[in-house]
Amino acid sequence: MTDPKTDERSLTRPGDDAETKDGPEGNGPESPELAEDGERSEARGCSNTPQTERFNTCIDYLKFRFEVGYGEKPDFFADLLTTLKVDLEDASEGPGINGYMKKLDLGVGLSLWYGGSITKTSEGRLTTVLEMKGSACRDYEERLFVLDMLGDNTKRKEALREGWIALLNLCLEMRGKCTRIDLPTDDLSGTITAEEIKEKVKKREYTTAMRRKETTDALDVPSAYVPKEGDELTGIATERDSKLSGYTATFGSRDHIQLCIYDKKAEQSLKGNFVSAKSWVRFETRFYHESAEAEIPYLLLALDKGEESEHIASCLAGSIEFKEPNGLDEHHRSEGKTWGKWAEFLKGVERFKPFASEEPVYSIETNARWLNKEAAKAMARVATALGMNVVELFSLIAYEGAKRLTKKDLLMVNQWRRRKGRAPLRSREEVVGLCSDLPGLDGEIPPEVSELLFGRHQEDEK
């Protein structure tokens, strides 16, 4: 089964569909991806798995930009292609898009864009873009774990989770910048219908920090504007091949964060995919540019904890809240009662206000301030009591701490190193190796020091 990414023309009017910020790799107009001729496949959820919970979530679009030209240094991308599990023998090179001279198609919806002088950075460095549309995300997951007829859903989820962690971490290690990521939450339970969302939006029974809004409804498009093959809908914010059969509401802009709500069943049905669910409404939170780059650490932490579904749903909960009819004006609408169906759909989900906390970015600075304010006197007291060189004491403590670093700790270290133009560290073992070279760690640790600092004798570790 495929869950192809919908055409971007459904979101904005012609001429507005290129990303205009932070580089030339925007989404230019392309023909929509349709199901293969004659194929009718069952669309059961955004991760191609049977619906077992209130909602399904997934990663449905990913774009990274690297400041290395693929045409000049293809070996730099060797690990990336290996992680994606693609074979260059099956790839095909064609004309580029969005300012790039060439586009290497690695699979359906999966490509590398490179070449061209206008795609260089302000410092003159060549760039390459990795684009994974929805279909490419699903194909990547199928390559990670092929589900047999009996299918172990638990093992599948674990395999997909590990695969996404590996891919995202590798992109960060390559100093790539995420310029877009889409995180949809699907309601296949029928709790909320597209028609109900349409009425809520029409009556403005919602609160959101996103100011810009666009809506599209097939029933609102005059028959004279329903296009034939090859026609364009100039000035009509809709999509020829899919969204004409359903309702779409889009909030926000491509400068920051966007929320797109649409009738996924209508879209898939028109593409020839059989949808067994009676209703399928998609709530898709899309992060762009700096927001996308900032979202990746949060998503990685959630994946590492096995809580990516909860995190994605919390992004939705933080983006919009639908209200019961209340007659309140726009300045007091937030005081209204949450719509009962919305509360039921997102029951137990905490609202995530994107990037209200800067801890993952600034934790190294926070740690440094804490060392100076809280730990400095303690280290002086311990060093004086032991008659030990303070540099040696710090090295010893850092070495022991390196052994206990978590993936979250490593992520924070690498964020700071990337901002300073330093190469990221690949593993905890690499950090331990670096700390083992610090001054004062050449000899054995005296038992008195080991017992005082760590509550153990050195012999206990043997």
Q: Tens digits of per-residue pLDDT, 402-422?
A: 888 887 788 878 877 877 778
Average pLDDT estimate for 234-249: 48
Radius of gyration of the chain (CA): 26
State how far the Cα of 430 lies from the Cα of 412, in Å rounded to an integer: 15
Can you tell me whether residue 323 is helix, strand or coil?
Answer: strand
Is the pLDDT score of 2 beyond 80? no
Is the pLDDT score of 330 beyond 60? yes
Can you tell me whether residue 22 is helix, strand or coil?
Answer: coil
State how far the Cα of 304 lies from the Cα of 68, in Å rounded to an integer: 28
Structure confidence at residue 236 (pLDDT): 31
Average pLDDT estimate for 138-164: 79
State how far the Cα of 51 lies from the Cα of 43, in Å rounded to an integer: 10
Beta-carbon contacts of 74 under 8 Å, excluding residues fewer than 6 positions away, are: none
Phi and psi torsions of 217, nearest 5°: -140, 130
Structure confidence at residue 245 (pLDDT): 54
Is the pLDDT score of 14 beyond 70? no
Q: What's the mean pLDDT when you consider all of the chain?
A: 76
More confident residue, 114 or 441: 114
Average pLDDT estimate for 327-346: 85
Structure confidence at residue 455 (pLDDT): 66
User: What are the pLDDT digits (tens) for 184-220?
Assistant: 999 988 889 888 999 999 889 998 888 776 766 654 4
Least confident of 76-85, 106-115, 121-130, 151-160: 151-160
Is the pLDDT score of 288 beyond 90? yes
Phi and psi torsions of 244, nearest 5°: -65, -15
Structure confidence at residue 217 (pLDDT): 64
Is the pLDDT score of 147 beyond 70? no
Is the pLDDT score of 296 beyond 80? yes
Average pLDDT estimate for 141-145: 88
Residue percentage of the chain with pLDDT more than 90? 34
Structure confidence at residue 459 (pLDDT): 46
Is the pLDDT score of 430 beyond 70? yes
Average pLDDT estimate for 360-366: 57
Structure confidence at residue 115 (pLDDT): 95
Is the pLDDT score of 101 beyond 80? yes
Calculate the alpha carbon distances from 312 to 44, 122, 204 in Å.
19, 34, 24
Structure confidence at residue 286 (pLDDT): 95
Q: Which helix (H) or strand (E) holds 195?
A: helix 194-202
Beta-carbon contacts of 317 under 8 Å, excluding residues fewer than 6 positions away, are: 346, 349, 350, 351, 352
User: Does residue 129 contact residue 144 with C-beta atoms inside 8 Å?
Assistant: no
User: What are the pLDDT digits (tens) for 23-66?
Assistant: 444 443 333 333 333 333 333 334 433 344 556 899 999 999 99
